[in-house]
Structure 1
Amino acid sequence: MTRILHLSDLHFGLERTTLIAPLLDLVNAARADLVVVSGDLTHRGRSAQFAQAAAFLRRIEAPLIAVPGNHDIPLYKLTDRIMRPYRRYRDAIARTLEPIGHVGDIRVQGVNSVDPMAWQRGAISTDQVARVTRALDPACVNIVALHHPLQQRPEVDKALAEGAPEALAGFESAGIHVVLTGHLHIWSIGAFQGASGRSLLQIQAGTALCARPGDLQNEFAVLDFQGDDLLVERHIAPMSEPGFRPPEYLRFTRRTGIWQSL
């Protein structure tokens, strides 16, 4: 079994301060083989916020990879956003924007979906898709991690990332098994499988720490991969409660070549 822990949308600068210690305790108690953080480590991409985010990440005991989100680049300083959008991210978090994590039979490829020219919307290029698909390991469960979702429910009012439909088609046809995203602050797993299932499973994380009242809750997920089976352990902390509830469990399998819930 290989254990991946998925965090997203920490939003340091607008974080739920009282939840930091409980979150760290649960993350470290999970003893994950790899922690994946899918963007928006900060709320406004400021140096002090990156310092908070970096201090938090240093306290995570497992190996870790992260990709930037649209909140991790300058919003108001347009020159910085255009000329050096990732300077603070690279200085505080990691030099690479598209890291690779390889643990056991799991390979996670990070993709930077931030578009400094659009700020919120995001974009995924054909070059990025080609680079990911060329590097697939046929002996592994291949996972892509990026900030912006590749599909959204009709009620979502944010614009879908440019190139998302093409990226989804390219990833699925190449044999990507799982895509991890964030951005919407809304949990979703298997929402786009359809009646017959699909060979690619999309897991959209809620926000792990953002204190925006409209989000209603914070959460993260632990993903246990064993062969063709996946056990998802979802941890939820409602805004109206002091900490995390006991986890919820969901099971999926791809023994027939497509993902199906059990």
Structure 2
Amino acid sequence: MAEDILKQLQDNRELLQNKLVFLQRDKIIKVDAGTRFQLEQEIKEVQTQIQEITREIENLQTKPAIAPTLTPTSPSSSKISIPLTQILHLSDLHFGNTDDAYNWYDTLAQDLRYELGCDKLNALILSGDIANKSIQEEYIAAKQFIDDLTGEFQLTPKQIIIAPGNHDLNWQFSGSSYTSKQRKDYTGYLDENHIIDKGEIIEVLDSEQYEQRFTYFSYFYQEVKGENYPLEYDKQGILNYLPEQNLLILSLNSAWQLDHHYRTRAGIHPRAISNALKTIRQNPAYQNCLKIAVWHHPLNSPYEDRIKDTGFMERLAQAGFRVALHGHIHKAENSLYRYDLNTTGRKLYIVCAGTFGAPIREWVLGYPLQYNLLKLQDNKLTVQTRRREELNGAWKPDARWLMGTGQNPLPYYEIVDLT
């Protein structure tokens, strides 16, 4: 067991060292000050991770490892079997109008069919920011895009999984949910989560009106899925069961606390998680599924708009979730969340999709438009990343995944053990 842990740590260190080389090379060629600062922060974080892993390796090499005497069981202790399954993962679509819908659909469909040989999808996952300003026109365009996609690639409403992002709440509704009052006349409790203190004037939040920020997103969800998207935060952990693929996909709202005052307050509502996990425990059919969670915001980012309270990840790992999908940062990434240290322990593979349709001004330098096609079979996940560099151009392979010293990067990566 100690040898396995040591090898895993050494492999992880090598991957981080390769990533460090890539980041340092990027830093040299970037001229934008903001991008250079972001890269410097990422470099520091990776260097810290390398130092921590090196210390763990040194400890293992100098001290005898103590093997655990008990083997804990988990919901996924048995092998998970998945038939050939193709999942389209799109994020940060930022639809503007119906012209976007027609153009984006055609380029995507052509890439899926002719370049990737995919004529049928088993699921479509949208991990937030479907709209740009969360207005009706944008969701009409998004609905047109999805209708075309589902028609050609044989998708049903149950196979479409949607999580909202920060661009899926309406800022006008957000503003109207606060009322200005004289501080001296206000007799209620001054709760910082419900009051904006401006000295003599305070803005008081109407909680019921506040939930209406997601009204247009909810209408869109109803049109696509045929069911309401709940505005109550504790009900926004929605389970999507696909028995033919042996998949259970949980969508979560990481933007539930965001508004025009609090633009970086990303997180997952604790009761939304609790309610979903309770349902899973009570349903035997869910126990040996591959469990995937979907939300919008990242866990790790140099910016403040990341999810800072990551305790919910421990609960997902305990419940047998093995894959998490998100977006928001407008660039494809992957990482690993380890709950147990041993190589066969509980963990979540985190897959981030880049932006599918953001305006050029919002592209991250070096990262064009992107999307992911996920292929599952048996116990293996292959993530294929595609890129589009020209607004009216074609999708192409995005060979950015480093494979080691002396090897060319690939446009895909594989996760070979999902148990």
Distance 1:212 1:131, change over 3 A: farther
Select the residue among 147, 153, 176 that pairs with 1:58. Answer: 147
Q: Return the index of the structure with the highest Cα Rg.
A: 2
Report how far residue 191 of structure 1 moved. 5.3
Equivalent residue in structure 1 for 2:272, among 128, 138, 155:
128
Question: Residues 191 and 142 of structure 1: is their aligned pair in 2 closer, same or farther, counting only changes over 3 Å?
Answer: closer
1:89-238 aligned within 5 A: 89-94=217-222, 95-96=228-229, 98=236, 99-103=238-242, 104-114=245-255, 115-117=257-259, 118-136=262-280, 137-149=286-298, 151-153=299-301, 156-163=302-309, 165-190=310-335, 199-213=347-361, 214-215=363-364, 216-238=367-389
Give the direction of change, closer, same or farther, for the CA distance of 1:241–1:52 in structure 2 (3 Å limit): closer
- What runs of 5+ residues in structure 2 fail to find an aligned partner? 1-83, 178-208, 223-227, 231-235, 281-285, 399-410
TM norm structure 2: 0.54
> Secondary structure of the equivalent of 1:135?
helix
Cα displacement string for residues 94-123 of structure 1 (whole angstroms, at most 9, x for unaligned residues):
322544332211111111221244344322
Moved more, 84-93 or 33-42: 84-93
CA distance in 2, matches of 1:10, 1:16: 13
Q: Give the number of equivalent residue pairs.
A: 252
Please tell me the residue identity of whatever aligns with 1:172: A
Q: TM-score normalised to the size of structure 1?
A: 0.84
Q: CA deviation at 1:36?
A: 0.7
| Aligned counterparts of 1:127 and 1:88: Cα–Cα separation in 2 | 23
Residue type of the alignment partner of 1:167: F
Distance (whole Å) between structure 2 residues aligned to residue 11 and residue 200 of structure 1: 27
Structure 2 vs 1, CA of residues 222 and 83 (structure 1 numbering), >3 Å: closer, same or farther? closer
Q: Are 1:13 and 2:164 counterparts?
A: no
* SS of corresponding position for 2:328: coil
Range with bigger deviation, 224-233 or 110-119: 110-119
Residue 128 of structure 2 contacts residue 296 of structure 2 at CA under 8 Å; is this kept in 1? yes
For residues 333 and 389 of structure 2, what CA distance do their matches in structure 1 show?
16
Name the CA distance, whole Å, in 2 between partners of 1:49 and 1:119: 21
Moved more, 71-80 or 101-110: 71-80
The alpha carbon displacement at 1:239 in A equals 4.2
* Structure with the larger RCO, 1 or 2 (CA within 8 Å, 6+ apart): 1
Gaps of at least 5 residues in structure 1 are 258-262
**Greater helix share, structure number:** 2
Q: Distance in 2 between matches of 1:6 and 1:100?
A: 17
